Every structure is written in C-alpha cells, then in structure tokens.
C-alpha cells in the first residue's frame, strides 16, 4: 500500500482519513492526486468553487487508468460530505439571532465574563434532546386529531374554515386580524417591490449635483422628498378623505411641540395623545356625517335629504382601502409622542452634539443615533410628516424614533445591504410557510371561537389548544412586523426587530416583554419607564407602581376594553413573584453550586411560563371565561392533575434548554437580555 497525504487507498479496500479538502492527497497504485493538482481548489475563496474544481479534475482524468472507480467514489464521498456539512452550517447560520438583527452581533465574538462551559454534550442534555425528539410530535398530533372532520366538535366550527391550497385540507382563516394581512399578501408583495424600485428611479433622474464626501444633507433632502410624495399617495389610497383627519391630528401635535414653552410640551403631549386614543375609540373615527350634522345648520332639500348629512355621507363613502383609519392609528400615536420628546430633549443637548463629541456622523452607534441623530434644525414640519407617515412602517411599525430615522436618511447603514437583507427575506418566507401549515392542519383558533364544549377534549388536548392558540397569536404578529421591516430594509431603513425570541423560548416575564414587540418595549423604556424613575435606585413599591403605570398604558394603547386592562394588571401581578424570587435567591449565593441554582431557577421558571400563558390567553385569545373553561377541563379530574404534573416536567426540560441556549449565545459574545 502506498500512502500520501491524508487519504490511503489499498487494493483490498479503502481506509480514509480526511482533513480539509484543500490538503487532501490521494494515492492509488502509484498514481497520486496531490497538492499541485488541487492548487486551484485550495486557492478558491468559495467552498463551492473548490468542489467544482475537483469535479472538473475528475471529469478530465477519468480516462487515466490510474484513476480507479474507488478513487472517484472516495472523492465524491468527500465532496458530498462537505457539501452537506456546509449546507447544515449555513442553515444554522440563517437562524442565528445575528442574522435576524445585526444589532445583536458581537464585535469581538469573545465569550462574555462569567460564561459557563457548554453542557450540550452532557448526559443531562442528551436526555433533554430525547424529550425534544419525541414530545413535540404528540403535541402536534393532539391538535391535529381534534381538527379532523371525524371529531364530534368539527360541525361547530366548520363554517369558520375556508378552502385552502393544501390538497384535502381547509384553512383556518377565522382570525380577522390576520385575515386582513393574509388576504392582501399578493398586493403588499407588489408594493414591497415597487416602492424601493421607484425610489431608485427617482434618485437616478432627480438627484442634484454630486454631494461632497461625508455630507449627507443632499441625501436627506432627496429621501425626505420621495418619502413625502409616496406617503401622500399611500395615505390617500388607504384612508381616502379621512387622510384629512390624520393630517389635522398631526398638525395639532406639531404645534404642541414647537409653539408651547418647554415646561408645557411634555404634559400637553401626553394629554393630547391619550385624549386622541379615547376620542378615536368613542367617536368611531369622527364620521363626516356626524361632524357636519353637528357644526352645520340643517337644511332639507326638495328630495327630503339633509344637506349636511348628505355631504358627510358622500365623504364617508370615499374612505379608501381602510375606512376605519382609527384602528391602526395607535402606532402613529407612538411616533407623535416620540417626535415631541425628541425635539424637547434636543433643545437641552446642544452642547453634547455629535460634532462636539467628535463622532463620525456616518457611523454613529444605535444609541447615538437615537439620542443625537438629528440636529435641532431637522425638526421641521416637512421632516416630521415624512417620519410619521413613512410608508413601510406606517401601518404596524416597527417603531423608529425621529432622531434615528433622520440619521439613517442622511447616512444609510451597511446593515441594509443585499447580503443582510436576503437571509432575512428567506427567514420571513419560512415563517410564512410555517403559519400556512399550522392554519391548514391545526384548527385551534376556529375551535376556540366556536364556544366549544370543553368536555369533548382530553386535558392534553385542552392544553395544546391553548398552546397553539398562543403560537398563532405570535405568528400573526410576527409576520406583519417582519414584512414591514423587510420592506423598510429594502428601502434602506433598518428598524429594530420586533420578535427576537420564539414564543416557546421564554421563561421570564420581565425578559419576555423585552423580546415581544421589542421596538414598543424600547419606546416604553425611553418615553415612559425611565422618565418615571425606572426601578434602579427606587424602593420596590415605587418600581411596582411604575410597572403598573406602564402596563396600564400598554393595555389602553392596544385597545380600550376591560379584557385588556385585566391582561395588563395580570402581567404586573405575575411579574411580582419573579422579582421576589430574585431577591430571595440571589445568584451570588449560589455561585459554588451552579447546577443546583439552575435547577432551582427552572422550577420557578415553570411557574412563570404557566402564568404568562394564562395572562396572554386572557388578553388575546379566549378571554377570562375561556381560560376558566380550559383550566376546569384540565384540573377537574384526577387524570388532568396527573397530566399537569407531567406538563410541568416537560416545561422544566424546555426551560433548561432555554438556559443553555442563552449560555451558547454568551459564548459568542451576545447578551440579548431576554
């Protein structure tokens, strides 16, 4: 036998030792494929180019008698193995949080202080892996079984199902909020492509003289002009004549920021915008017919119609694609408040501008962009309208404050490059496909909307109906947010990612709200929580009051109804046990017993998960009565109580995996704080 390099081939068989392909030598009966022959492959930058180079070599040398079938088979095996390995690694890279939002990428990739060694290859986590490989199948199957036409409850909700694109399956399109998004995906997809392309056409034909290097004012002016033009068309298409109402509210808010003295701007801003939330709800969007009948004298025509109401009804009949504009206006209220306070605070930081600090305006950090990304002179009504009505983020966010928006308009970020956007678009497509499969095979939402007889379901099925209801809620919010963020990325604006954790990857009530609707959470911290005093340096009772104020506003902002108020207060109530547990069991007392502390935290986290599921089922799914029916069905029998114990054990396993997943992020230098 002749040996060369890392591959040894003999007449009686093949023995293989493989290193990097670029270092592979092959010998067979006196013939070699050495480093010289693979020089082009080792020099290729792309792994796929390397594979192609070897393939071409084999094709050119198959006539050589020394290149036997075993040699070719071996090299093909090496190529296939490496190609599969790289495909798996690329897929894992696609689902890393750094791919989702570059804000989480570590600059050094060094492990954070206090990071523990990996536990993935320990016996404990092999047991957890076995649980993960088996239990989810039964979770899906339990809801799939009750979603069959043969189930006794199927007739109760069959009218809520529609024809789907999966052969032999209906689709659960019964959620009105998601239905409005799903049914309009083709049209929004065209808008997603057309808007950035039109901007490029506009930039090409209407750009001014070449701007000086480092001066982004021309870029800012060009972007703002296009944003305003497109926003005007977009707003009229969406709201029709009601766009005038939106414009009036925006004008009043701007006058509050720029006309009042500094001491009155803050209180007046809050009073006006909270009043708008209530007025929009109570006045049903200020119908023109109601307004005209109130302020105009009533006159009756020969046909017997009152002139004021007639004009009003005509205007109301031209309400655009979304006549009920007030439903989606809540997100705009956040931008109105953000603009006013950004302007107010800009008046106090003139001495600490980026220029005074010698910062590179084209490469500001996210914090610097949010705090000082705009000059005082940038707070014009023109820029204000472009910011508030910015089309990709207008309907649902994510939320970017005014400073950050102006900074990115002036100096586009590298994170909006094609290399960053394409993986994000692929992830969005995968999430959309996941939602479609869930709606075609698991009818959890339709079942919960049909006032079901809970006694027809086993405790396991009841719990899974609640669980998948929450997953549909997560996906129905994630998809619009990611769609609009993708649209903004294609247009050159990098907004924060709203959903950075899967719904099932949360164990802390406090951390959950940092990762769920993340841009809203950051808005709350900046404009409510910190001004109220936060929690640091304050007594615990004061921190609890601050939490109560925050979640009361959050509930009212979502919708003015009692169910969401109960949800907000439940969240505050469920946060308290976690806060008290952290005080009773501080981590520094358990530093010599890390595993015991991890298990203890896991027990507490199971309770947290159950409470968070209960609060969100009340607020966004089945309501208080529905939750009561679910709980009674689960714990109302001995079998149900046994199941609850088993479910807690399963949650404990999941929580331990969540702990280690976060440790693996810390080993890459990432701390998401959620």
Task: Say if residues 577 and 607 touch (Cβ distance below 8 Å).
Answer: yes
Residue 478 CB partners (closer than 8 Å, separation 6+): 431, 498, 499
Q: How crowded is residue 489: how many other Cβ atoms within 10 Å of its Cβ?
A: 22
Verify whether residue 517 is a known catalytic residue: no
Q: How far apart are CA 550 and CA 230, in angstroms?
A: 35
By the 10 Å C-beta count (0-12 exposed, 13-18 middle, 19+ buried), 10 is classed as middle
Distance CA 140, CA 622 (A): 20
Instruction: Spot the catalytic one: 28, 440, 517, 558.
Output: 558
Question: Residue 2: enclosing H or E segment and its boundaries?
Answer: strand 2-4
Name residues whose C-beta falls within 8 Å of residue 647's C-beta, 6 or more positions apart in sequence.
463
Count the alpha carbons within 13 Å of 637 in the hemisphere toward its beta carbon: 12
380: closest CA among 527, 254, 252?
254
Please answer whether residues 633 and 455 qualify as being in contact, where contact means their C-beta atoms are separated by less than 8 angstroms: yes
Contact partners, residue 250, CB within 8 Å, separation at least 6: 336, 384, 385, 388, 389
Which residues, 6 or more positions from 306, have their beta carbon under 8 angstroms from its beta carbon?
A: 293, 298, 299, 300
Strand order in the sheet with 7-10: 2-4, 7-10, 13-16
Percent of the chain as helix, strand, coil, to the nearest 5 = 70, 5, 30
Q: Beta-carbon neighbour count of residue 447 at 10 Å?
A: 27
Closest alpha carbon to 615 in 443, 302, 607: 607
Q: Which residue has the tokens 């615990």?
A: 540
- Contact between 18 and 24 under an 8 Å Cβ cutoff? The reply is yes
Query: What are 212's two structure tokens?
Result: 């000086």
Distance CA 557, CA 280 (A): 12
C-alpha to C-alpha distance for 641 and 662, rounded to whole angstroms: 32
CA distance 126 to 116: 18
Going from the C-alpha of 203 to that of each of 208, 232, 445, 475, the distances in angstroms are 9, 18, 46, 36
Whether 393 and 493 have beta carbons less than 8 Å apart is answered as: yes
Token duo for residue 450:
């049909």
Please write down the long-range contacts of 345-351, taking CB distance under 8 Å and 24 or more positions apart.
346/372, 346/374, 346/375, 346/376, 346/379, 346/403, 347/262, 347/376, 350/376
Residue 383 to residue 380: CA distance in whole angstroms: 5
Q: Report the run of H or E that residue 448 belongs to, with start and end.
A: helix 444-449
The dihedrals phi and psi of 139, each to the nearest 5 degrees, come to -65, -50
Q: How far is CA 623 from the centre of its chain?
A: 24
CA distance 131 to 45: 41
Positions marked catalytic = 558
């Amino acid at each position: 036998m002749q040996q060369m390099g890392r591959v040894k081939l003999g007449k009686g068989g093949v023995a293989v030792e493989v290193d990097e392909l670029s270092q592979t030598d092959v010998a067979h009966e006196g013939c070699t494929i050495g480093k010289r022959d693979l020089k082009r492959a080792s020099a290729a930058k792309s792994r796929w180019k390397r594979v192609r180079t070897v393939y071409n070599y084999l094709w050119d040398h198959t006539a050589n008698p020394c290149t036997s079938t075993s040699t070719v088979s071996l090299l093909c095996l090496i190529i296939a193995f490496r190609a599969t390995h790289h495909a798996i690694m690329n897929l894992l890279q696609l689902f890393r949080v750094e791919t989702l939002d570059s804000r989480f990428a570590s600059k050094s990739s060094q492990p954070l202080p206090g990071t523990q060694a990996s536990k993935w290859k320990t016996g404990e986590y092999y047991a957890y892996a076995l649980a993960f490989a088996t239990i989810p199948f039964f979770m899906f199957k339990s809801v799939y079984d009750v979603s069959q036409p043969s189930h006794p409850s199927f007739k109760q909700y069959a009218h809520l199902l529609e024809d789907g694109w999966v052969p032999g399956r209906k689709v659960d399109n019964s959620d009105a909020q998601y239905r409005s998004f799903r049914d309009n995906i083709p049209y929004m997809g065209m808008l997603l492509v057309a808007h950035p392309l039109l901007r490029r056409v506009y930039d090409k034909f209407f750009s001014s003289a070449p701007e000086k290097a480092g001066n982004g004012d021309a870029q800012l002016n060009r972007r703002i002009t296009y944003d305003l033009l497109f926003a005007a068309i977009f707003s009229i298409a969406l709201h029709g004549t009601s766009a005038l109402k939106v414009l009036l509210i925006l004008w009043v808010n701007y006058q509050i920021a720029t006309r009042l003295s500094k001491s009155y701007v803050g209180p007046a801003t809050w009073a006006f915008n909270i009043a708008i939330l209530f007025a929009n709800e109570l006045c049903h969007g200020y119908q023109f017919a109601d307004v005209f009948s109130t302020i105009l004298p009533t006159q009756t025509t020969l046909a017997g119609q009152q002139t004021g109401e007639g004009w009003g009804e005509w205007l109301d009949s031209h309400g655009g694609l979304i006549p009920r504009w007030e439903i989606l206006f809540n997100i705009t209220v956040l931008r109105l408040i953000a603009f006013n306070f950004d302007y107010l605070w800009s008046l106090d930081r003139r001495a600490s501008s980026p220029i005074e600090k010698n910062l590179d305006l084209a490469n500001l950090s996210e914090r610097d962009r949010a705090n000082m990304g705009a000059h005082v002179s940038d707070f014009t009504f023109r820029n204000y309208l472009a910011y508030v009505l910015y089309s990709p983020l207008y309907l649902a966010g994510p939320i970017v404050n005014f400073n950050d928006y102006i900074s990115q308009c002036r100096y586009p970020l590298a994170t909006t490059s094609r290399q960053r956007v394409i993986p994000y678009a692929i992830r969005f497509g995968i999430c959309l496909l996941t939602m479609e499969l869930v709606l075609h095979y698991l009818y959890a939402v339709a079942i919960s909307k049909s006032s079901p007889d809970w006694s027809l379901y086993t405790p396991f099925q009841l719990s899974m109906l609640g669980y998948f209801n929450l997953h549909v809620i997560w996906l129905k919010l994630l998809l619009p947010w990611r769609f609009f963020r993708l649209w903004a990325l294609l247009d050159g604006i990098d907004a924060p990612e709203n959903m950075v954790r899967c719904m099932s990857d949360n164990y802390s009530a406090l951390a959950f709200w940092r990762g769920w609707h993340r841009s809203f959470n950051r808005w709350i911290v900046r404009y409510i929580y910190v001004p109220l005093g936060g929690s640091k340096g304050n007594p615990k009772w004061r921190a609890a009051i601050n939490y109560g104020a925050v979640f009361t506003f959050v509930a009212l902002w979502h919708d003015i109804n009692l169910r969401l108020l109960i949800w907000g207060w439940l969240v505050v109530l469920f946060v308290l046990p976690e806060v008290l547990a952290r005080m009773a069991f501080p981590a520094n007392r358990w530093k010599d017993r890390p595993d015991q502390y991890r298990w203890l935290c896991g027990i507490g986290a199971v309770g947290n998960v159950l409470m968070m599921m209960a609060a969100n089922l009340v607020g966004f799914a089945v309501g208080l009565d529905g939750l009561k029916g679910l709980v009674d069905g689960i714990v109302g029998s001995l079998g149900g109580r046994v199941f609850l114990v088993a479910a807690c054990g399963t949650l404990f396993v999941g929580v331990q995996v969540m702990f280690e997943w976060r440790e693996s992020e810390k080993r890459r230098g990432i701390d998401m704080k959620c």
